[in-house]
Amino acid sequence: MELHALTIHELQDKLRAGETTAADILASVCRRIDAVEDKVHAYITLTREAAELQAAAADAAIRRGEMEALTGMPIALKDILCTRGVPTTCGSRILADFVPPYDATVVEKLRAAGAVLVGKTNLDEFAMGSSTETSYFGATRNPWDLDRIPGGSSGGSAAAVAADECVAALGSDTGGSIRQPAALCGVVGMKPTYGRVSRFGLVAFASSLDQVGPLTKDVEDAAILMNVIAGHDPREATSATVEVPDYRSFLNRGVAGLRIGVPREYFLAGIDPEVRVAVEAALGVLEAGGARLVEISLPHTEYCLAVYCIVAPAEACSNLARYDGVRYGFRAPEGRDLLDMYKQSRSAGFGAEVKRRIVIGTYVLSSGYYEAYYKQASRVRALIRRDFDQAFTRCDVIATPTSPTAAFRIGERIDDPLKMYLSDILTISANLAGIPGITVPCGFTAGGLPMGLQFLAGAFQEGLLIQAGAAYETLAATGPLIARRKRERMPLD
């Protein structure tokens, strides 16, 4: 098998054994990018020359007997994470030429762990979308079917991992933007607990919802990346001081005796029959492995989308006010005065979806409507959080479908915002409650499209998610299944 197709832990074993080098691994990934990137469009910016220097430094460190957690591993970054000296566009015209003077904390941690950073991946503009179609730089395509979306907003990261254009990637998750594209691209994606991973240097969409997390080829790689990026950051006000365990220690614990909650609200009308069957089969696999299935209820689930569609635009409206064409970013050249320059810069710099959310956010925060919308949504959000608190007294983790459908066709929902927002109906609750979630592949549709199984756990219980996800991978042998299906079905191969 080609080096670019291997996992982090498999490549680390080869490096330790002297069977390959960081330079060889990077060269394999670069050849793969050259072969498939024009079809997938996973990246906005490639940093090949810098990556070659990092790979050379990694090989020198290995020769000195110094090997960190990610030494020599080619990692991609969602282009919403600030990178010193490398453009950070957020998929938007308004930041198309923005080059940050500093690294995000997670980027600093990757560098310190020896990672080789190969590029910045495509995304829905400012992470506002579920299909990676709203990027100023064009749509990303699903490697399993190039006529279909990869999910969003971290679609570039998910597609890059699925297509073996990197070994792993980081994304951000505001309402499912790591987990949904991971599920649709057949990879693993984790949204950590709010506060577990620093948001310093993550360009804000909705500050009470955003979280950085890994997209990987298997659960063990997710554990490796979480060990690197998790932890308190004094530069980030919402960063938690909770102790971080060794996530790899949860990998081989199995599910015997684990109580898995199955919420009836997540299996109602609207779930594609193939998805339902796949997830129910996965639950059967877990039960056969010794887990105990417990039916639970999350009664306020039906309000999650409405709450999200108030809270997220309201926070986005506030966060995006800084893009005015004055200090940085795109500036319209023909403004008659300062106010006209603001209007023209923002009108031309933002895409339709971003402007739609700014308008919604402005409305729900405006005088006379704040109490009726934003404050009321905040109250219901507290009830959603309480539902989960009560559920976790009866179960250890919760299992649900990740997405109600497999990947849909490019253009199919772009003109129907409500239908697009429904793509995240099963993931947004975790962001509203601030709890962690992980998705693992759980099979394919008859048409060969991946589907995902989502696990949710209580705050700062990422270890339980890794335990459940790794056990399911072993019991269902999904790793070999994905590899075989790639060879048989992925049009890139």
Residue 468 has pLDDT above 80, yes or no: yes
103-133 confidence digits (pLDDT tens): 999 999 999 999 999 999 999 999 999 999 9
- At 369 the pLDDT is 85
Alpha carbon distance 255, 134 (integer Å):
40
Cβ neighbours around 220 below 10 Å, total: 23
Q: What pLDDT was estimated at residue 481?
A: 86
Contact 173, 14 (CB under 8 A): no
DSSP codes of every residue in 381-392: HHHHHHHHHHHT
pLDDT surpasses 90 at 25: yes
pLDDT confidence of 430, banded at 50, 70, 90? very high
Spell out the residues 6+ positions from residue 211 whose beta carbon is closer than 8 angstroms to its own.
Answer: 172, 173, 174, 191, 192, 193, 194, 196, 197, 199, 431
pLDDT digit string (tens) for 397-406?
Answer: 999 999 999 9
pLDDT confidence of 479, banded at 50, 70, 90?
Answer: confident
User: At 370, is the pLDDT very low, low, confident or very high (cuts 50, 70, 90)?
Assistant: confident
Q: Quick check: 286 pLDDT over 90?
A: yes
Given pLDDT bands bounded at 50, 70 and 90, which one contains residue 327? Answer: confident
**Tokens 């299996």, residue located:** 267
Residue 269 in this model has a pLDDT that exceeds 80: no
Give the chain's end-to-end CA distance (angstroms, integer).
13
Condensed to tens digits (0 to 9), the pLDDT of residues 207-252 reads 999 999 999 999 999 999 999 999 999 999 999 999 999 999 999 9
Residue 388: pLDDT band with limits 50, 70, 90 = very high
pLDDT tens per residue across span 56-86: 999 999 999 999 999 999 999 999 999 999 9
pLDDT bracket for residue 418 (50, 70, 90)? confident
pLDDT for 393 equals 98
Mean pLDDT calculated for residue range 414-430 = 93
* Distances, alpha carbon 94 to alpha carbons 127, 128, 465, in Å: 14, 14, 38
pLDDT > 70: percent of the chain: 100
Judged by average pLDDT, the poorest of 25-29, 232-236, 340-344, 400-404 is 340-344
Give 483's pLDDT tier (boundaries 50, 70, 90). Answer: confident
Which one of the listed residues 154, 172, 177, 403 is annotated catalytic? 177
pLDDT surpasses 90 at 425: yes
The reply to whether 429 belongs to the active site is no
List the single range of 1-15, 98-112, 283-297, 317-331 with lowest mean pLDDT: 317-331
Active site residue 153: yes
Cβ partners under 8 Å of residue 288, min gap 6? 475
Q: Which candidate in 130, 135, 153, 198 is catalytic?
A: 153
Rg (CA), the chain: 21
Rounded average pLDDT over 157-176: 98
CA distance linking residue 308 with residue 423, whole number of Å: 13
Q: What are phi and psi of 321, to 5 degrees?
A: -65, -20
39 is catalytic: no
Confidence of residue 492 (pLDDT cuts 50, 70, 90): confident
pLDDT of residue 367: 81
Q: Tokens 């240097």 appear where?
A: 201
* Coil/strand/helix, residue 246: coil
Q: What span, in angstroms and rounded, lies between the C-alpha atoms of 26 and 9?
A: 15
In the chain, the percentage of residues whose pLDDT exceeds 90 is 91
pLDDT at residue 2 is higher than 80: yes
Cβ distance 436 to 455 under 8 Å?
no
Look at residue 360 and give its three-state secondary structure. Answer: helix
Nearest Cα to Cα of residue 122 among 195, 164, 181, 70? 181
* Mean pLDDT value across the chain: 96
> Looking at residues 261-284, what average pLDDT do you find?
94
Superfamily for 3-265+276-297+386-489? Amidase signature (AS) domain (3.90.1300.10)
Domain-by-domain residue ranges, the chain?
Answer: 3-265+276-297+386-489, 301-383
Least confident range of 14-28, 48-62, 264-278, 298-312 = 264-278
Q: Which of 405, 184, 421, 193 is nearest to 312 (CA)?
A: 421
Residue type, 482: I
pLDDT at residue number 188: 98
| Residue 310 or residue 267, greater confidence | 310
